[in-house]
């Protein structure tokens, strides 16, 4: 049986009913789905059966207004992961760059394409911050570069100024820069790379409603690119009807929820500060994060197993390149759930 390498696995039999688990392993919106998205799901059950629009036309129209970008810049997918694989399949790069640690699906997609992968290792001493030392690493023989901003699992945001320098370097060398902004909606004051798309055919910005609107089970991602030829290739390389009717309708509803996004940011900021402080008091090394998740390091390689006794699931980072079994990631949840986690950790550290 294949090993599950991502968070959110509530299905493996752990002797605890899934509905009783508090899942910190997945970094979804602690507020859950907005009401409009839930209503869209309910309404779908009363509509006549039909195929989904293979071109996602109404969804793209709404996304165009939501992002203030031309409708022809958009491609929609079955989550951001599908788009990653489509990009690699469409372009068949010979050499590509990734960060380490970072989201594993970039390298997995590149491995499937038998692409040489070059890793740029981030340093623990500065909380895994990306610096301008990456610039000379972008060489003329590099076809693609995947950057996650904020990075996963570290939660570090890269400054817009440095991202702009990276984009310029990629344009000079002919390297396609793929910027994964799936968690950027959780970051207060963050600037999206979409504003650099105009006239730059070497930039793709990847986004998803999976995280910010807690639509992980519905699966909806999209990317933006000013290269119409690349958008056309993305449409050709995969299956038709890749975005379901429920996903399209929920996405349309979600584009009206900008106030919900702002409420989420405020909650995440408050609870991230609370959890960071509490984890440090307990004695953990908590890395700086601007995202809706935290990465920390402790001296217990079995902490994830011990927390199951309390019905709590966290993400071991042992399978990330550059990390090990003493590193963990937790999603930011409601204060009630965050308090349950800190109480369980205190019991494990000092009471058991």
* Contact between 90 and 255 (Cβ < 8 Å): no
Q: What's the pLDDT score for residue 1?
A: 40
Residue 4 pLDDT exceeds 70: no
- Residue 77's Cβ-side half-sphere holds a number of Cα atoms within 13 Å equal to 23
Residue 352 has pLDDT above 70, yes or no: no
SS3 state at 27:
coil
Query: What is the C-alpha to C-alpha distance for residues 139 and 195, in angstroms, rounded to an integer?
Result: 24
| Per-residue pLDDT at 351 | 76
Residue 348 per-residue DSSP state: I
The secondary element (H helix, E strand) that includes residue 64 is: helix 57-67
**CA separation for the pair 34, 121 (Å, rounded):** 38
Task: Give me the mean pLDDT over the 130-134 stretch.
Answer: 98
| pLDDT of amino acid 7 | 61
Distances (CA, A) of 42 to 19, 35, 249, 250, 293: 21, 11, 11, 10, 30
The SS3 of residue 232 is helix
What's the average model confidence in pLDDT over 26-34?
Answer: 96
Domain limits, the chain: 18-33+258-351, 35-254
Mean pLDDT, rounded, for 160-174: 98
Q: What are phi and psi of 277, to 5 degrees?
A: -65, -45
Mind listing the pLDDT tens digit for each residue in 198-256?
A: 999 999 999 999 999 999 889 999 999 999 999 999 999 988 999 999 999 999 999 99
Tens digits of per-residue pLDDT, 313-346?
Answer: 999 999 999 999 999 999 999 999 999 999 999 9
Entry pTM? 0.95
Confidence of residue 45 (pLDDT cuts 50, 70, 90): confident
CATH number of 18-33+258-351: 3.90.1150.10
Q: Please report the pLDDT score of residue 5 as a whole number.
A: 58
DSSP lists the bridge partners of residue 116 as: 95
pLDDT tens-digit profile of 247-306? Answer: 999 999 999 999 999 999 999 999 999 999 999 999 999 999 999 999 999 999 999 999
Residues in the chain: 352
Mean pLDDT estimate for the chain: 94
* 329 Cβ contact partners less than 8 Å away, ≥ 6 residues apart: 7, 25, 27, 153, 293, 294, 295, 314, 315, 317
DSSP string, 65-103: HHHTS-GGGEEEESSHHHHHHHHHHHH--SEEEEEESS-
- pLDDT, average across residues 13-36: 87
Class of domain 35-254 as given by CATH:
alpha beta
CA distances from 157 to 87, 98, 123, 163, 277 (A): 24, 16, 14, 10, 20
């Amino acid at each position: 049986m294949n090993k599950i390498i991502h968070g959110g696995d509530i299905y493996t039999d752990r002797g605890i009913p899934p509905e009783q688990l508090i899942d910190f392993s997945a970094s979804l919106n602690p507020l859950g789905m907005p009401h409009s998205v839930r209503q869209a799901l309910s309404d779908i059950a009363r509509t006549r059966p039909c195929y989904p629009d293979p071109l996602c036309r109404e969804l793209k129209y709404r996304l165009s207004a939501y992002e203030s970008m031309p409708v022809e810049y958009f491609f929609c997918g079955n989550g951001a992961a599908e788009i990653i694989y489509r990009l690699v399949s469409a372009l068949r790069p010979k050499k590509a760059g990734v960060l380490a640690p970072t989201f594993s699906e970039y390298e997995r997609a590149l491995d499937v394409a038998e692409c040489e992968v070059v890793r740029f290792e981030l340093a623990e001493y500065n909380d895994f911050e990306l610096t301008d030392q990456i610039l000379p690493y972008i060489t003329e023989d590099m076809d693609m570069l995947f950057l996650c901003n904020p990075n996963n699992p570290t939660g570090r945001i890269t400054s817009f100024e440095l991202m702009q320098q990276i984009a310029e370097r990629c344009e000079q060398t002919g390297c396609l820069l793929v910027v994964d902004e799936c968690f950027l909606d959780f970051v207060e004051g963050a600037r999206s790379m979409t504003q650099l798309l105009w006239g730059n055919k070497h930039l793709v910005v990847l986004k998803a409603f999976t995280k910010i609107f807690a639509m992980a089970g519905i699966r909806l991602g999209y990317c933006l690119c000013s290269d119409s030829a690349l958008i056309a290739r993305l449409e050709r390389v995969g299956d038709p009807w890749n975005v379901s009717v429920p996903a399209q309708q929920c996405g349309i509803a979600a584009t009206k929820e900008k106030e919900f996004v702002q409420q989420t940011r405020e909650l995440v900021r408050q609870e991230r500060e609370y959890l960071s402080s509490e984890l440090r008091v307990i004695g953990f090394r908590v890395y700086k994060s601007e995202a809706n998740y935290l990465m920390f390091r402790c001296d217990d390689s079995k902490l994830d197993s011990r927390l199951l006794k309390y019905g709590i699931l966290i993400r071991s980072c042992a399978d990330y390149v550059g990390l090990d079994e003493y590193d963990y990631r937790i999603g930011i949840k409601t204060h009630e759930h965050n308090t349950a986690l800190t109480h369980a950790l205190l019991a494990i550290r000092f009471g058991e």
